[in-house]
């Protein structure tokens, strides 16, 4: 079972056992992402994914691994590393897992919660229209992130997403 994943540079040939996750498409980029996975027996292997690297996140509760690249959002089964699903050309910029096993992704304008698969998504409502969202830190069930108010780019905000209540609130304005 996969317990950890980390974006790494292209490994030397033979350094790790490798599994290639590719999707045949004329729209694929020439970029590749390398993720070093660590299993619960501490064995290591490398997954190779199409697209420029963005992030990897694991839900041990739901046995799901999500890998975000410029070309795809991949969903793996964390028990055996098999590909479960993928989404082509996602616009997501951030990816993280909640303490409850769900995932939060964001594009420039919205936060979205992914529950049991990348096919099950819910856009999270916000008190303002957001732009340029950047995740910062988790503190228990609270995800802090920054953004600008859409069409008011001089208003920089620190925001809070509560994964227990599934609500976004404004924490304060940053300078």
pLDDT, tens digit (0-9, with 9 covering 90-100), for 156-174: 999 999 999 999 999 988 7
Q: Which of 122, 161, 126, 135 is nearest to 68 (CA)?
A: 135
CA 33 – CA 36 distance, rounded (Å): 10
Give the HSE-up count for residue 146: Cα atoms under 13 Å, Cβ half-sphere: 9
- Separation CA 30–CA 22 (nearest Å): 11
The answer to whether the beta carbons of residues 124 and 166 sit under 8 Å apart is yes
Among 90, 115, 143, which residue terminates a domain?
A: 90
Q: Containing domain of residue 85, as a range?
A: 1-90
| Rounded percentage of the chain residues whose pLDDT exceeds 70 | 99
Q: Indicate whether 111 and 65 sit together in one domain.
A: no
Give Cα 158 to chain centroid, integer Å: 20
20 plus 47 within the same structural domain = yes
Using the predicted structure, report yes or no on whether residue 49 has a pLDDT greater than 70: yes
- Assess whether 1 and 82 both reside in one domain: yes
Identify the pLDDT of residue 173. Answer: 83
DSSP string computed for 76-118: EETTT--EEEEEES----EEEE-TTS-EEEE-SS-EEEE-SST
106-152 pLDDT, tens digit each: 999 999 999 999 999 999 999 999 999 999 999 999 999 999 999 99
Q: Dihedral sign for Cα 23, 25, 27, 32, please.
A: positive
Chain centroid, CA 105 distance in Å: 6
- pLDDT value for 175: 60
Note whether 69 and 99 are same-domain residues.
Answer: no
Strand partners, 43: none
> Where among 90, 105, 131 does a domain terminate?
90
Q: What pTM was computed for the model?
A: 0.94
For the chain, the domain total comes to 2
| 78 and 133 part of one domain | no
Same domain for 110 and 128: yes
Specify whether 105 is located in the same domain as 60.
Answer: no
Comparing 154 with 20, which gets the higher pLDDT? 20
- Of 90, 113, 141, which marks where a domain is finished? 90
């Amino acid at each position: 079972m996969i317990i950890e994943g980390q974006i790494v540079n292209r490994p030397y040939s033979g350094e790790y056992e490798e599994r290639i996750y590719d999707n045949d498409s004329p729209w694929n980029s020439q970029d590749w992402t390398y993720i070093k996975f660590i299993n619960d027996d501490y064995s290591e292997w490398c997954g190779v994914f199409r697209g420029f690297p963005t992030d990897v996140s694991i839900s041990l509760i739901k046995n799901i691994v999500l890998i975000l690249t410029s070309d795809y959002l991949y969903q793996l089964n964390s028990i055996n590393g098999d590909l479960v699903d993928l989404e082509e050309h996602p616009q997501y910029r951030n990816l993280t897992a909640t303490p409850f096993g769900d995932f939060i992704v964001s594009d420039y304008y919205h936060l979205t919660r992914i529950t049991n698969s990348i096919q099950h998504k819910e856009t999270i409502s916000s008190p303002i229209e957001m732009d340029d969202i950047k995740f910062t830190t988790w503190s228990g069930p609270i995800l802090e992130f920054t953004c600008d108010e859409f069409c008011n780019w001089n208003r920089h905000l620190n925001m809070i997403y509560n994964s227990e209540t599934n609500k976004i609130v404004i924490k304060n304005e940053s300078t």
